[in-house]
Chains A and B, each alone.
Chain A
Amino acid sequence: MIQLENLVKRFGPIVAVDDLSCTIEAGAVVGLVGPNGAGKTTTIRMITGFLPPTAGSATVAGYDVMQQSREMRRRIGYMPETTPLYPEMRVCEYLDFRGRLYRMPRRKRRQRMDFVIDRCGLAPVQRRVISALSRGNRQRVGLAAALLHEPEVLMLDEPTAGLDPNQIREVRQLIEELRGRQTVLVSSHILPEVERTVDRVMVIGHGRLLADDTVAGLRAKVDAGEELLLEVATDPAALRRLLEPLPDVASVDIKGRDGWAQAVVKARNGTDLRPAVASAVAGSGWTLREMRSRHATLEDVFRKITVDTGTTAANAPDAESKTPQVKGARQ
């Protein structure tokens, strides 16, 4: 549905997007994730045809974004980062205007307006002037406008920025409901938000695609096994002596605090260490206060990939690409 080939965008000497290639299938819900300034917005703007790429090409729904721009634009719904709206218009007037821009016939327009107003929870405010709306309601108006013309591809740039937790959940639910019917590309710099909604995550940093995988796949890449956290009332050194000889233990990291030893145990080959560790601790007679296993969250993945690229050089395509200067010198 979306196909990017060696997409590059330079603003003078600054390389905002550097050689980005990927394919997104129809119906997929994909998260575009990276720190601020990574090139997420620039990438989305190029896919929507708002910014022309410096090099490379992008195809959406089979149409080239530059050559067949208007055909392509009919098929996308786009909500930009800050949800820009015309403050002096009423909500229903704005939606009506958007419908007209897509040449929707009157009846169809009415019908779709009612649908999106209902779906985005705008019924109570539909007669209000946009400038009088709260941040959350404005976001809903932006979302409603993007959905109005039944786009095949929906692109949401930071749809949850500035919303409270309840509103974030609403947006997430809405995206869930669109799953399968529309291709959705959603960008965010906060990982847990997309972690739960997307099928696939594309991590970008400094304009480059650093990782492109399912949520589970990404986790597996960064952290092979799961971690076991436990707190035992004993001396750290004693706990280390107990845990290290256990089979399949890859590493043990122990800190002592207020008479409690806090250990992080990593397993080899994805083994479940819980039974072995539990019986070992029980056998020693020490008081066990806590034991839980922890999966790597996307947050960990994110930090690993975007910050310490050096340690995961195998996963990241190019660890050096962190500074634009290095990039410039290489080309």
Chain B
Amino acid sequence: MPLTLDIARRELMSFYRSPIAYVMAAAFALLTCYFFFLAFEPGQPVSGVWQHTFGRLVQVMVFLLPALSMRLIAEEFRSGTIETLMTAPVTDTQVVVGKWLGAMGLYATMLALPLAAIALVAFSHVTRDPGGGQFLAGAAGLLMVGGVFMAIGLFASAMTQNQIVAWILAVVMLSVVTFVTEYLYAARWLSNEIREVVGYVDVTQQAGAFARGLIQPAGVAYFVTVAGLFLFCAVKAVESRRWR
């Protein structure tokens, strides 16, 4: 574990020295505030506002988060630093999980600031039922969505040494578990059973439950399983690239 954290720490440090982290944080903050103020009206119930804001954020994260994850492993292979890293006594799993944790650390900070800002606005303008619990559940949902997106992005980054390719791959994969499933879930030509399965796979549905204030074991299990699955795939991808 200490080794994994050392790798995470280095990754986080590297993010704080790259312009992309600041550009992304700024974009994320702007969009969060934009979605919030689009729906927010002082004095009105805030429950729908949270659902709207968190729902829209999941959609933009499909495009924003791959920009953070794209360089994680692709860059190591491109610059050759992977060689010095992998010949040190560390395992592939420690490298992959460490990088994921580092990226999650950045994501958590860039999530925390704008969310704190809009929460402050909401709670200071709403007297009756500010929906604090719902807000916290929604924020936890966003963190979990980020965990899954980052794991998928990391997997994409492990398959190529070109960051642009890694970004595109990640966006395509993320679109499948958000936009495509959303479309299929609404499709009338599919049987109800299939739509139910699609609905379970759909990240927007799962996150939507959190945004409504529902933290269910099944929902948590979904995010943990999917993130774990893609981290495992990323480890295998790193391993296989050394065999080629």
Binds A, one of B43-51, B81-89, B128-136, B153-161: B81-89
Interface centre among A78, A98, A101 (most CB of B within 10 A): A101
CB-based contact A97/B18 at 8 Å: no
Contact partners of B90 in chain A: CB under 8 A: 101
Contact partners of B89 in chain A: CB under 8 A: 70-71, 73-74, 101-103
For the complex, is A147 an interface residue (Cβ under 8 Å from B)? no
Instruction: Report Cα–Cα, A84/B88, bound state, in Å.
Output: 14
For the complex, is A121 an interface residue (Cβ under 8 Å from B)? no
Binary flags per residue of A8-30, CB closer than 8 Å to B gives 1, else 0: 00010000000000000000000
Instruction: Report Cα–Cα, A101/B91, bound state, in Å.
Output: 11
Q: Is the interface of B mostly helix, strand, loop or mixed?
A: helix
A101 touches which of B6, B79, B83 (Cβ 8 Å): B6
CB-based contact B6/A100 at 8 Å: yes
- Report the nearest A residue to B80, measured CB to CB: A84
Binary flags per residue of A79-106, CB closer than 8 Å to B gives 1, else 0: 1111011111100010001101111000
For the complex, is B124 an interface residue (Cβ under 8 Å from A)? no
Whole-angstrom distance from the CB of B59 to the nearest CB of chain A? 31
Binds B, one of A49-57, A275-283, A286-294, A302-310: A49-57
- Report the nearest B residue to A45, measured CB to CB: B83
Instruction: Report Cα–Cα, A1/B85, bound state, in Å.
Output: 23
Contact partners of B79 in chain A: CB under 8 A: 84, 87
CB-based contact A52/B83 at 8 Å: no
CB-based contact A85/B81 at 8 Å: yes
For the complex, is B3 an interface residue (Cβ under 8 Å from A)? yes
**Known contacts A97-B10, A100-B6; A50/B88 CB under 8 A:** no
Instruction: Report Cα–Cα, A88/B15, bound state, in Å.
Output: 9
Instruction: Report Cα–Cα, A49/B83, bound state, in Å.
Output: 10
**Chain A interface residue bracket vs B:** 20 to 34
CB-based contact A78/B84 at 8 Å: yes
CB-based contact B13/A50 at 8 Å: no
Binary flags per residue of B9-39, CB closer than 8 Å to A gives 1, else 0: 0100110011000000000000000000000
Whole-angstrom distance from the CB of A59 to the nearest CB of chain B? 16
For the complex, is B188 an interface residue (Cβ under 8 Å from A)? no
For the complex, is B243 an interface residue (Cβ under 8 Å from A)? yes
Enumerate B87-118 residues with CB–CB distance to A below 8 Å. Answer: 87-91
CB-based contact A88/B243 at 8 Å: no
**Chain B interface residue bracket vs A:** 20 to 34
Contact partners of B2 in chain A: CB under 8 A: 100, 103
**Known contacts A73-B89, A101-B3, A103-B3; A50/B17 CB under 8 A:** no
**Known contacts A52-B243, A88-B14; A73/B84 CB under 8 A:** no
Instruction: Report Cα–Cα, A311/B30, bound state, in Å.
Output: 74
Whole-angstrom distance from the CB of B157 to the nearest CB of chain A? 16
CB-based contact B17/A73 at 8 Å: no
For the complex, is A42 an interface residue (Cβ under 8 Å from B)? no
CB-based contact A52/B242 at 8 Å: yes
Contact partners of A48 in chain B: CB under 8 A: 87
CB-based contact B6/A89 at 8 Å: no
CB-based contact B83/A80 at 8 Å: yes
A84 touches which of B13, B83, B91, B242 (Cβ 8 Å): B83
For the complex, is A298 an interface residue (Cβ under 8 Å from B)? no
Contact partners of A73 in chain B: CB under 8 A: 87-89
Instruction: Report Cα–Cα, A154/B85, bound state, in Å.
Output: 16
Instruction: Report Cα–Cα, A52/B240, bound state, in Å.
Output: 11
Enumerate B47-71 residues with CB–CB distance to A below 8 Å. Answer: none
For the complex, is A4 an interface residue (Cβ under 8 Å from B)? no
Contact partners of B82 in chain A: CB under 8 A: 84
CB-based contact A88/B80 at 8 Å: no
Instruction: Report Cα–Cα, A220/B83, bound state, in Å.
Output: 38
- Chain B interface (Cβ within 8 Å of chain A)? 2-3, 6, 10, 13-14, 17-18, 79-91, 242-244
> What are some 8 contacts across the A-B interface (CB < 8 A)?
A70-B91, A73-B88, A74-B89, A97-B6, A100-B6, A101-B85, A103-B2, A103-B3
In order of increasing CB-CB distance, the 8 nearest A-B pairs are A84-B80, A101-B88, A88-B17, A100-B6, A84-B81, A73-B89, A48-B87, A80-B83
12 additional A-B residue pairs with CB within 8 Å, beyond A11-B244, A50-B86, A101-B85: A49-B87, A71-B89, A73-B87, A74-B89, A79-B84, A80-B83, A86-B10, A86-B81, A88-B14, A100-B6, A103-B89, A145-B84
